[in-house]
Structure 1
């Protein structure tokens, strides 16, 4: 299940686009934070909610005892904190002398509710699992930071895709908690248009399959196959797919191999909940309440957040200290997955850190 992060990250390209190199970042510490009697916005609750996380580096406090080097990085739909422990992300950011050098920063990589090793439907509740939202996921992250890790302020909160949307929620919900915010591959408005239609297609493909059986299946329903095809189309890059599969036979093999792997590691109920969690996302009305300097980065070949809609630049004008960067399409961009190829935007991260240094 954890490899579902590839849906909204690098899809099929991670296996071939980076040369294997020795990791230059420290081995993460892994832990679980159990939240008792967690109440969801839906009115549902869990007697115990497991919030899994990984950390790199050590927390530092200033002369007043306040945390001053904590960085929260949030993953995309279907992903987990492990998606950031790759050469094309960690290898560009976490090593010695790099922008988020793990010897200087305390990096927190949580698995969102319903993802990775955190509590999720496939643990046993299936479709009886509480219907979590992005607000619930951010609340659990906040409690992890404040209650378990004793962090009272973030140097930076950032995220990719769904994690980018979580970053917008963070900046509005806890406006005094961070020095800077960096949402990638996201826009601060309701999910509508083609994005919403794609999500509806995914959920309906599963729910209308009799084999789903209201979530009480013994074998994954056949509708999951259609859902995965939709996800592939949603997050893919035409340019990179053409490079990876330049002829008929290689294209057929590429999608067949991708589907085989994803079917083996995807649970239909987990996927349903992950996609549904975006149902009430809408930071637009409160953009003016964001206090922290915010840098939003998207890419011009992102089919999930296409630049021709004009939403990105329009809405950033309502953020008091907001700035928008659109990465032009190039042979090195990867569609929606550009958000995980840090080499394409880490110079902007360096600038944001420099401008918000206290």
Structure 2
């Protein structure tokens, strides 16, 4: 499951980038990849941000000539989050903002960085769609609030506009796994704390998929993963835990990077957008985009109820629940059935 790391992306220089909590990230950079061509009037652009621990190639399963995100028709931009290891992150930033000294980055900051790329570099004034999974969904909501006249449609899947207290507590468990043990050294390690990454995989394993997924032992034959390009079949539960979960976090992930993105996630709240004074409902009411939220039926930390609650305040909001037992990872691209379900909804949204 090891991804080949090649320079298949571009880098946009943000310069000295001011952050919402007062720090300035010096000589900041945003890594991104594009698909398709921007048309003459720059009206065919789509933004598709990455997710917690994900890189741009982990998003590519939703892009293709047979998909709603068709590069023959749309110009698709996949920006890597600040903190993910490709854009400016604890693991690639020089002192004084290296390692555990990396500043706090909010969803608002993520979208401000992406907006500079979209508007200043490409000269784009309107977006046909913003979409994303998990933390990508959080960025989708933030785009719709930060730039309501720019975002025409939004399709957040398996994510939320505000991190719930239960979700926050789940992430406290992940944080404990990442920071425990002597090898972490307060975030100033020189040797990768692999035990911490393995423990993180074990913690995540109980949350990424649903109880029914384990009851049915779906991990023994998960089918062909469009995201990873391999068949996912694990003879035993231990094989699944080691190969799928420990392997994911050991593969090119850095502990400080994961902690940076975790903080962004824990404090996600569109109500903290400047001008809303922490009022989450008021921020939802400001969204002008046609928005279809796609929570997964058995998602353990982004339950459909949260999106139903939020949708009532979005003027043109709707909720479509992804069926099945895959839980949060219904949005990962690893399930062919869920991949088609999500693609069909996005296709309908773009046709509207």
Structure 1 length-normalised TM: 0.81
Q: CA deviation at 1:282?
A: 1.6
Q: Distance in 1 between matches of 2:87 and 2:327?
A: 28
Q: SS state of the match for residue 14, structure 2?
A: strand
Q: Distance in 1 between matches of 2:234 and 2:248?
A: 20
Q: SS state of the match for residue 277, structure 1?
A: helix
Structure 2 length-normalised TM: 0.83
Cα distance change on mapping 1:182 and 1:48 into 2, 3 Å: same
Q: SS state of the match for residue 327, structure 1?
A: coil
Q: CA deviation at 1:264?
A: 4.7
Structure 1 partner of 2:289: 292
Q: CA deviation at 1:268?
A: 1.1
1:1-358 mapped onto 2 (5 Å cutoff): 30-62=9-41, 67-86=42-61, 89-90=62-63, 94-95=64-65, 98-123=67-92, 124=94, 125-193=98-166, 195-221=167-193, 222-241=195-214, 242-245=217-220, 250-258=236-244, 259-260=246-247, 262-283=249-270, 284-285=280-281, 286-307=283-304, 310-329=305-324, 334-339=326-331, 340=333, 341-355=338-352
Q: Distance in 1 between matches of 2:251 and 2:131?
A: 30
Q: Distance in 2 between matches of 1:119 and 1:277?
A: 14
Q: SS state of the match for residue 207, structure 2?
A: helix
> Which residues of structure 2 form unaligned runs of 5+?
222-232, 271-279
Q: SS state of the match for residue 16, structure 2?
A: strand
8 Å CA contact 2:11–2:30 kept in 1: the answer is yes
Q: SS state of the match for residue 151, structure 2?
A: coil
Q: Report the count of equivalent residues.
A: 315
Q: Distance in 2 between matches of 1:157 and 1:167?
A: 6
CA displacement 1:116-154 (0-9 Å, x = unmatched): 421111115111112212111111111111111221111
More divergent stretch after superposition (204-213 vs 37-46): 204-213
Q: CA deviation at 1:238?
A: 4.1
Cα distance change on mapping 1:83 and 1:224 into 2, 3 Å: closer
Cα distance change on mapping 1:245 and 1:342 into 2, 3 Å: closer
Q: SS state of the match for residue 242, structure 2?
A: helix
